[in-house]
Amino acid sequence: MPKEKKVCAYCGESRFGLVRHFVGFHHLCTWFCKERFLERRARELADYRQLLNRVSHNRTVLRYRH
């Protein structure tokens, strides 16, 4: 089993109090860090989807698929 990290996945500080927030296997120190982490992850996923959409609809790529 991997050793638990003692830092927040968003801000990188080791200031866990009585409550530790989790998103998957990511440990977050405050509710604010949790919300920011989820926003950043949603933005990165949206950017990645847009990239895949542009690549899949690119005419030069479609020409070589046949």
pTM: 0.70
Name which of 10, 43, 42, 6 is nearest 28 in CA terms.
10
Neighbours of 30 (CB within 10 A): 18
Domain count, the chain: 1
pLDDT value for 63: 59
Rg (alpha carbons) of the chain, rounded to whole number: 18
pLDDT tens string 36-57 = 999 999 999 999 999 888 887 7
Contact assessment for residue 11 and residue 37, using Cβ atoms and an 8 Å cutoff: no
Domain region containing 16: 1-66
